[in-house]
Amino acid sequence: MTQETFPEIREAVRKLCARFPGGYWRELDRERAYPTAFVQALTEAGFLSVLIPEEYGGSGLGLGAATAVLEEIHRSGCNGGACHAQMYTMGTVLKHGTPAQKQAYLPKIATGELRLQAFGVTEPDAGTDTTRITTFAKKVGDKYVVNGRKLWISRAEHSDLMVLLCRTSPRDEAKTSAGMSVLLVDMREARGAGLTITPVRTMLNHATTELLFEDLEVPAENLVGEEGKGFKYILDGMNAERILIAAECIGDGRWFVERASRYATERVVFDRPIGQNQGIQFPIARAHVHVEAADLMRWKAADLFDAGQPCGAEANMAKLLGADASWEAANAALQTHGGFGMATEYDIERKFRETRLYQIAPISTNLILAHVGQHVLGMPRSF
Ligand SMILES: Cc1cc2nc3c(=O)[nH]c(=O)nc-3n(C[C@H](O)[C@H](O)[C@H](O)COP(=O)(O)OP(=O)(O)OC[C@H]3O[C@@H](n4cnc5c(N)ncnc54)[C@H](O)[C@@H]3O)c2cc1C
């Protein structure tokens, strides 16, 4: 066995998660309700501010430590989807914000007084092609006036601030990624004053929403960085997001493998534990192998990120390997549990639905393969 990384952090996260067992998540899942108590506990324990530098009140740790937090949350049967954005969305402000913006927001994000959980990029008509977004922020005096629509914006109802990507000039065919900007929207002021939030019910409990902007006024001082460079700023944050999500997948994968191997050892049918049958044992063993392999790529990506080295290829590969491994483990666990895998009280079907998301969001598997094919291997571009 290799030594466990960040053992103190992992132990503390495990202890916290033990207070939120399967029954807690099942009830929320049934109601599609937000895990407020869980998010509050993580905030108070300081786990959501690990990436914020100490000068702004965070722990100033690297991405590797943050991945350990999310992995343990998922390995414990919990789900970080309700709050993981509080960890990394602030990176846009930290990297590109003015000193005044950093002072105004980061210390309060670190304490949890301000929730920066929402990240508004995707639009119904643009899909993965972000350059096609049409939500427009028009500069009028000392304000931007925003009109448009966003879809799949998670946690918008549970966030005080949102990092919003919008167009500030029309799409230029010669330079499609130019002309987009990042605004920091104060959701408390915006709701009912030009911003309408509509929840979207999905196959998992994810607090995702549709946003409608109708002449929403945002102070010009809430522009993050330079006007027109927003697409680059959003891309800057994506490697961190992919590595963190890979860790969630690895945590899920380990949870499924542990549950499946335990059940396979205990469940007796035809006078023998079902795990004695290789048709049950091998898929679990194979999933374990793939989770461990994904973990190696996660650490390669996280170490490069923390060393300030380029890590786009590794971050994408870690996300793909993690998502595939957790999905494989989910299938093996469901099959191992037979009919009981379908019963809500075993939590397998809930986690199965939850981990399926990672094939689609925050980036779909095909788009990662396109990145690897075109940018790593230099094959012809498909878009
Ligand atoms: C629960 C949930 C939460 C989300 N939270 C957020 C959020 O907080 N903020 C946010 O901004 N977005 C969020 N998203 C959006 C998410 O990032 C997108 O759903 C995802 O990027 C895919 O975009 P799309 O759904 O528009 O699919 P589309 O772009 O319409 O693609 C559909 C399918 O076609 C494939 N495809 C498209 N183009 C190609 C191509 N050139 N080659 C091969 N295959 C292709 C895709 O891989 C995909 O499988 C969330 C989504 C979900 C479901």
How far is the centre of ligand 1, averaged over its atoms, from the C-alpha of 53 (Å)? 31
pLDDT recorded at residue 1:
46
114's tokens: 């301000």
| 270 touches ligand 1 (CB under 6 Å) | no
Q: How far is CA 357 from CA 147, 236, 323, 336, in A?
A: 29, 23, 9, 21
Residue 128 CA, closest ligand 1 atom number: 29
pLDDT recorded at residue 3:
76
Provide the H-helix boundaries in the chain: 7-18, 22-31, 36-44, 63-75, 84-88, 90-96, 99-111, 187-190, 230-266, 278-306, 312-336, 338-342, 348-356, 365-371
Whether the bond into 362 is cis, omega within 30 of 0: yes
pLDDT recorded at residue 97:
98
| 119 touches ligand 1 (CB under 6 Å) | yes
How far is the centre of ligand 1, averaged over its atoms, from the C-alpha of 357 (Å)? 10
| 364 touches ligand 1 (CB under 6 Å) | yes
Residues of the chain short of pLDDT 70, as ranges, are 1-2
Confirm if 58 and 91 have CB atoms less than 8 A apart. Answer: no
Tell me 376's DSSP state: I
| 122 touches ligand 1 (CB under 6 Å) | yes
Tell me phi and psi for residue 302, to 5 degrees. -65, -40
Task: Please give the Cα distance from 242 to 244 (Å, whole number).
Answer: 5
Residue 206 CA, closest ligand 1 atom number: 1
pTM, two decimals, is 0.97
pLDDT recorded at residue 134:
98
For 148-184, write each residue's pLDDT tens digit. 999 999 999 999 999 999 999 999 999 999 999 999 9
| 130 touches ligand 1 (CB under 6 Å) | no
Residue 127 CA, closest ligand 1 atom number: 26
Query: Which residue from 123, 201, 244, 360 has its CB within 8 A of the most atoms of ligand 1, so it is best to mutate?
Result: 360
Confirm if 86 and 156 have CB atoms less than 8 A apart. Answer: no
- What is the residue type of 270? F
Atom 33 (ligand 1) nearest CA:
364
How far is the centre of ligand 1, averaged over its atoms, from the C-alpha of 363 (Å)? 6
pLDDT recorded at residue 2:
62
Task: Please give the Cα distance from 96 to 248 (Å, whole number).
Answer: 27
| 128 touches ligand 1 (CB under 6 Å) | yes
